[in-house]
Each structure stands twice: as C-alpha cells, then as structure tokens.
Amino acid sequence: MTEHILITHKDWENVGGLPGILLTLQDTGVPEIILHGPPGIDSLYYDTRHFMRFRDLNIEYRHYAENNGIIGEGTDPLIIQCVPLWDNMEESINSGNSGELDADKGTSEEVEDLFSYEKPWMKKRPNQSNDHYMNPTVKRQRQEESTKCRNMAVAYICRPPPKAGALKLEKCVKAGVPAGPLLGELKRGQDVTLPNGNVVRAADVTEPDDPGPVFIVMEAPTIGYLDALLESSAFTQYQSSAKCEGDLAEVVVHFTPAEVMAHPQYQEWMARFSPSTSHIVINNESSCMGSEAVHRIQYKLNNLSERLFPLLKDAGIPFKDISTVEESITSTNGSSTECVKVSEKVSVQQKDTNCKRDSSSQFLIGPVHQATTLLTYNIRPKKTLDTSNGLVLCPDAYLKECYEQENFETILLNCKAKLQAPLLEEQNSCDISENYPNIIFLGTGSCIPNKTRNTSGILVNISATKSLLMDCGEGTYGQIVRLFGFEESDNVLRKLVAVYVSHLHADHHIGFIRLLNARKKAFHRAGLHDVPKLFLLAPSKIMAYLASYHANFEPIMQNFTLIGNQRLLSDDLNLDQEIYNNLCSHLDMKAISMTFVIHCQNSFGVALTHKNGWKLVYSGDTMPCQGLVDIGKNCDLLIHEATMEDELEEDARIKTHCTTSQAIQVGRDMNARYIVLTHFSQRYSKVPLLKDLPAQVGIAFDNMKICFRDLPTLHHMHEALVAMFAEDYDDMLEKTAKKRAARERLTESLKTRKVIPL
C-alpha cells in the first residue's frame, strides 16, 4: 500500500500527477499519505481544494530536512536520506514576473481580490490536531520558505533495513540440529549448543547477512545544480570510495534531463560510482508513452477508417515480429483470408536498453539503461533488472479479435462503403483538399481517465496556423504527443492560440499547466524565445489556483492572459471592445459568445462563429440548457456531453449531466446541422448505449479526427462499433436490464405495500 510520495523537484512534470494519484489512493481506502520534498509541495493539495475533494484522506508534508530515517511500516520499511541541491545559477525570484497582471494585458480585472485571497497553507489540515498553520508568523515563514526553495531539488538515498541471511536447512540437518526452537535461534544469528554438546555457529549454517542494497533517486533539473551535486559529500560513502562492498550503490535512477546528463560535470559524478552500479534513466529521452491498450483500440478503429482514426505516433513501443503471428483471420463464411499486416505500415526498432558508453568519454560508467514502461528493478530477494513485462505491439492480433466477432467482416465492409460514398459525391461539389476546420478529440471520457477514454480535451484546428483547445483535462499533453509524435507535437503547440475551460472541475482543466509549459518549450526548441502569450478563457476563479502555483512552484503567469468567461456572456458582454476584437482576430472569429449552463457554479457553454461563416458550439458539462440552445441557433456543429444512457436519466439529473437522447434533443432544439456526442461515463468506455442513432449524430472517440465534410458519414459507424466491441456492448445491455428489473421490482413493492395505521 502506498503511504509515502517522494518529490524531487517542484515543477509540473514532477507534481502534476499528484492530484490524480491522491484521488485514486483515497478511492482505494488509503487513510493517510505523507509527502516528502521541497517546502510548499503540500500547497498543491490546498490549491486544488476548490475543485477536488479529499474527504477520507489525510495528507501531511514532511520537511526535507526533518524526514531522514525510516519510512513505512511492516515488512517493507525504507531508510531514506534526503539530499538538498541548490541551483547556483538561480535568477532573481522576481525575474520574469513583472507585468503579468497589467490591465492592458486583460488580466487585472480577473485577479479581483487575488492578493487578499486566503492562501491555502493558512488552512488547518483536515483531521490534524495541531494549529500551527493558523499562526500568522508560521504562515509567513512557510510562504517565504516555499518561494525561496522554488529552485531546490531533493535527491533521495534509499536503503531497506538489513536482513538476516537465510537459513541453510541442508547444513542444519548435516550438523544435527533438530527441528524446533534451535532453528529459530540460528536464523536470528545466535549460536546454539546441541544436546550432545556440539556447538553450531550461526555463521556456518546461514547465508551472509544482506545489509540492504542502496539505491539513489536523482534529478538535477539544469546545469545550475551540478556544482552542488559534485560538492555534496552525502553520496561519497556509496560511491567507489565506500568502506565496504555492501555500501556500494546498487542502482541510481536518473530523472535528470538528457542535456544535463551529457554535461562533463554530471558524467564525472556518475563515474564516481562503482562500475558495478547500474544506472536507470527516465527523462526526456524516454519515448515510450504506454500503454498497449491505447494502441489496441486505435488499430481496431483505424481498420474502420484510416482517415478518422490515424495510427498513433508513439514510437517507443516495439512491434512483435509479424513472422511469429501465424494465425490467419477467418472470414464469416469459414474460408481463410490473409492476415492484414497493419504492423507493416510503421517500422519501429526497439531501443537497446543497455546503452553503450561513448568511446571518446574520459569517464568509466557502469551499465546504463534507458527506461521503458513497466521496466522493473528488483531490490530483494534478488537484484535483477526485469524487462519481461515490457510493452510489445501486435496489430495483427488486435484485428483478429475483431474478426472473431460474428458477422463483423460483412458489417465492416458495408460501413466502409457508406463512409466513402459521401466523399466521392463531394468531389463534384467542393474542393475536398480543404481540411479546415478540423477537430481532434483528445479526451472523450468523464471524471477520470482510463485506457480507452481520457478526460476532456478537444483540439480545434481553425486553420493551418491557428488552433484552439476546448477543455484541458489530465493527460491532454500526453494525448497530443501520443497522437502526433514528439516532433510534430511541438508544431501543434506552437499553433495553439487559446485554451477554453468550460468549468473548474479537475477533469476539464488540470492538464493546463503541463500544456502551458510544453508550449513554451516547443517555441524554445524552435529557437523562438519570444513566446506569444496564450489566451486562457476560463472562469476567473481559476486565477487563485494558478497564482498560488506560480508563487510556490514555478513562474507561469507571464505565459498566458486570462479572460474570464463571464465577460463573454451573450446577454452581458462586458469585455473591453479592443480586447474582444483582439481575441476574435487572433482566433479568426467573427463572434465568441458564452452562456451559463446547468452544472456546477460558473459552468459555461460557448459558441464560436468563424469569419467564414461556420459556427461551432460546445456544451461543456450541463443538463439540458435553454441558454445553450439560444447561443447555438443554427450552428453547423454541436459538440455536446452525453454522460449517461437514457435508462439513467435520474442519475444524470442528480449529477447535472445529460443522457444521450437529451443531448440529441438539445441539438434539434437549436437546429444544429450535426451533433457529436462526447464526455461519456467510463462505464461506456468502448461505445455508449443508444436506442438508435439519428443521421446527423456521431460518437466521439479519443484520437479521432473529423473535418466538416466527415459529419454526414459519422452515424454509419455505429453498427460497426457495436460489432467491434460486441462483448462489452452485451455486458452493458445485461447490466442495464438488471437495473431496470430492480427498479420495476421496487416500484411494484411500493405499490403493493400496505400501510398499517398506528
């Protein structure tokens, strides 16, 4: 059970997954988590308290200077030593922060009472008896220390406690030791005297004691940390100068970026370890995005339509040699057909995990392994590097799973023909090479991400040079990289003009900071250091969270301009006309209007009208809402949430969401030409339950790309999707039938129940 989380550095790549994992741990029943790392780590928990609830999980912070010692309980405790490292090239704390709240940048009105806002570290921890957080002096000291330590990294030297050597039973028998308590004494390292007077030494019948293998977790975020790294004496006793072999570090895990690892100073530090020390590298050179399940479903969908479902560009997972796939796909008429070798479309070579040292290097360094997903290093009982669980793709096997479904091949061919027909017709009526606007669904699930549907994120490519992201849930940046590949994802980010956040539930915006930082790096990698600000259209209250992160972790506010959604309300537009015109100009829009929708407080729907006339509406999360109908009148496309199936209309009402039929009716009420449903409950991770799918309605999937010319064809996919995921669909039908029967029994019971008067 996870009880401790160790953080090496305070930036989003290190802490961005913390809110999600805390929610998961709470759901699994973990009562308490202790966070270790630089000061201010715990502020992220408090910053998110307005949109994430930790009712049953007590979260504590243990100061890096005070948490050396044993962590964990039971049979798997761990002895850790925290080693702080400081950046000697740290810039002034206030550098780069000036002007981000200037009125002419459209942000001053959004901050409102930002600096009178009660900071999260001023709050008392839930379930905590002491009240030192309420002391004003302590509050100020914690804030000052958090800011001061923003550029501090923490390395961890870890070691399990010593373990007595295992008892060699064959030697005990040979020495005449009888079964019973004497064996226990020998196992505890005590010599024993047998009834015949012979003395048996514990050392003669046990394996050598295991002092506990040392492993080190290291991150030097920039070259500014290297002087501190080389000067630290904390690592000396575990390097080649160790007093005994048992103190030599067994493995060092490096989170350090590749460009810093290549620096001579870092190479010198690595060379101080014994050649027997293994090095595992997990950094920006790690290309495996995992998981196999994401690729499995994309290959199946790609077989349905290569245009709508392009193959993922995550090139870090090797393919299984197709020569080993001997089984063929059997068609519905029983004849053997040739296995479709989809794996031949992409050529990927698996990286050798044993990286060779450059022959020109002056340093001798032990074996280096570039980590991949599910790589395991066993500390006990046997020290081994285990790659047996590594991911491997076998597209032919994934397609075979589809063709095993009854009638699938016939349904598939029929669906493909229908998908192609409208395109052939359009060749005579329009230029089908026109690809804009196009819409890429990066996340189509609700609440929490799973292997099939990520949380909300919709990329709208307005033109070849401009795009807008609507909602930015957890993992949105990872979805972009997985779909486009590392190089092309930089181009995608550099085209991004604005991010729209519909409301402040975590599954709609928690990925924003990661995306913002990645966008900045994308410009820098292109040699462009004057990074244009990103427009953030969001509820104004998001600023408290972002400003606190800016103060405690890393500067971000200079990289975006906030325009509050409430200033763009269709019936109360109160945004300065110059700022509004500038926003529309950057997005090539004639009009941008919003409305409150029926979900949580400050939830919005948006309508975007392009200068060329097309109109796109996005609901965010909402119940059926007349305001959305009003701003969406006669739109070309409505993207609407459809969280629940029709049988769960009451559940949808309680949770202020829509059923599929309700979402479709909203589209009809606004006279939308086409409707695409998204934001499905994760119980419908493959395909939602629908009684029927009208001709103007489509179903969104993760990693699905559509142009306006595709909209008339989308409904044709439904039959093929049901056939492709028949087993999951049948399971959902069975569960729905059971729920319906249970409701009917309850209703009947209430009707026949007799009331006995008192």
DSSP per residue, 1-62? ---EEE--BSSHHHHTTHHHHHHHHHHTT--EEEEEESTTTTHHHHHTTTT---SS-EEEEE
- Overall average pLDDT of the 191-206 stretch: 91
Residues 6+ apart with CB under 8 A from 426: 432, 709
Alpha helices in 633-710 (DSSP H): 649-654, 660-669
pLDDT band at 343 (very low <50, low <70, confident <90, very high): very low
In which band, very low, low, confident or very high, does the pLDDT at 105 lie, cut at 50, 70 and 90?
Answer: very low
Percent composition of the chain: helix, strand, coil (DSSP 3-state, to 5) = 35, 20, 45
pLDDT value at residue 287: 80
**17-21, 166-170, 333-337, 668-672: which range is least confident on average?**
333-337
Per-residue pLDDT tens digits for 632-662: 999 999 999 999 999 999 999 999 999 999 9
Residue 349 has pLDDT above 50, yes or no: no
CB-CB contact of 263 with 223 (8 Å): yes
Residue pLDDT, tens place only, 699-718: 999 999 999 999 999 999 99
- 3-class DSSP assignment, residue 561: strand
Of 240-249, 412-421, 449-458, 742-751, where does mean pLDDT reach its minimum?
742-751
**At residue 538, does pLDDT exceed 80?**
yes
**Residue 597 backbone phi and psi in degrees, to 5:** -120, 170
- Provide the pLDDT for residue 652: 95
Which of 262-266, 360-364, 563-567, 575-579 comes out lowest in average pLDDT?
Answer: 360-364
DSSP 444: -
- The lowest-confidence range among 67-76, 311-320, 460-469, 719-728 is 67-76
Confidence of residue 94 (pLDDT cuts 50, 70, 90): very low
Residue 740 scores a pLDDT above 80? yes
* 756: confidence class by pLDDT, cuts 50, 70, 90: low
Q: Which residue has the higher pLDDT, 621 or 682?
A: 621
pTM of the model: 0.84
Q: How far apart are CA 672 and CA 599, in angstroms?
A: 22
User: Quick check: 689 pLDDT over 70?
Assistant: yes
Two tokens, residue 146? 């958090």
Distances (CA, A) of 343 to 299, 303, 313, 397, 658: 9, 12, 13, 10, 39
Q: To which residue do tokens 């529309």 refer?
A: 584
- Whether residue 77 has pLDDT greater than 60: yes
Percent of the chain with pLDDT over 90: 53
Among residues 286, 209, 216, 201, the alpha carbon closest in space to that of 251 is found at 216
**70 pLDDT more than 80:** no
The answer to whether 416 and 653 are in contact (CB under 8 A) is: no
* CA distances in angstroms from 66 to 83, 84, 321, listed in the order given: 11, 12, 52
pLDDT on residue 116? 30
What distance in Å separates the CA atoms of residue 386 and residue 376, rounded to the nearest whole number?
5
601: left (phi > 0), else alpha (psi -120 to 50), else beta? beta
Higher pLDDT, 221 or 740: 221
Average confidence (pLDDT) over 680-702: 90
Percent of the residues in the chain that have a pLDDT greater than 70, as a whole number: 83
**With left for phi above 0 and alpha for psi between -120 and 50, is residue 394 left, alpha or beta?**
beta
pLDDT at 350: 35
Residue 411 is classified by DSSP as H
pLDDT (tens digit per residue) in 361-393: 578 898 999 998 888 988 887 788 888 888 889
d(CA 60, CA 67) in angstroms, rounded, equals 12
pLDDT of 547 strictly over 80: yes
- What is the arithmetic mean of pLDDT over 119-140? 43
Residues 6+ apart with CB under 8 A from 59: 22, 32, 33, 35, 42, 45, 125
> For residue 690, what pLDDT is reported?
86
Provide mean pLDDT across the span 131-146.
Answer: 57
Question: Quick one: which of 431, 504, 429, 493 has its CA closest to 467?
Answer: 493
**What is the rounded average pLDDT of the residues 746-757?**
69
Q: What is the average pLDDT across 318-340?
A: 44
Lowest model confidence (mean pLDDT) among 78-87, 639-648, 683-692: 683-692
Report whether 686 contacts 705 (CB < 8 A): no
Whole-number pLDDT of residue 421: 67
CA–CA separation, 135 and 147 (whole Å) = 19
Q: What is the pLDDT of residue 99?
A: 34
Q: Which of 429, 430, 460 is nearest to 442 (CA)?
A: 460
How many Cα atoms within 13 Å fall on the side-chain side of residue 470? Answer: 27
What's the rounded mean pLDDT across residues 481-499?
Answer: 96
Better-scored residue on pLDDT, 190 or 356: 190
For residue range 5-52, list pLDDT tens digits in order.
Answer: 999 998 899 998 888 888 888 888 888 888 888 888 888 877 787 788
Residue 546 DSSP class = H
H/E element holding 111?
A: helix 108-111
Amino acid at 647: E
Q: Are 500 and 506 in contact (CB under 8 A)?
A: no
- pLDDT at residue 358 tops 50: no
321 band by pLDDT with thresholds 50, 70 and 90: low
Kindly report the average pLDDT of the chain as a whole number.
83
pLDDT of residue 360: 45
The per-residue pLDDT for range 493-514, each reduced to its tens digit, is 999 999 999 999 999 999 999 9
Tell which residue, 13, 64, 68, has the closest CA to residue 40: 64
Specify the DSSP element, H or E, that contains 591.
strand 589-596
Question: What average pLDDT does this structure show over 172-190?
Answer: 89
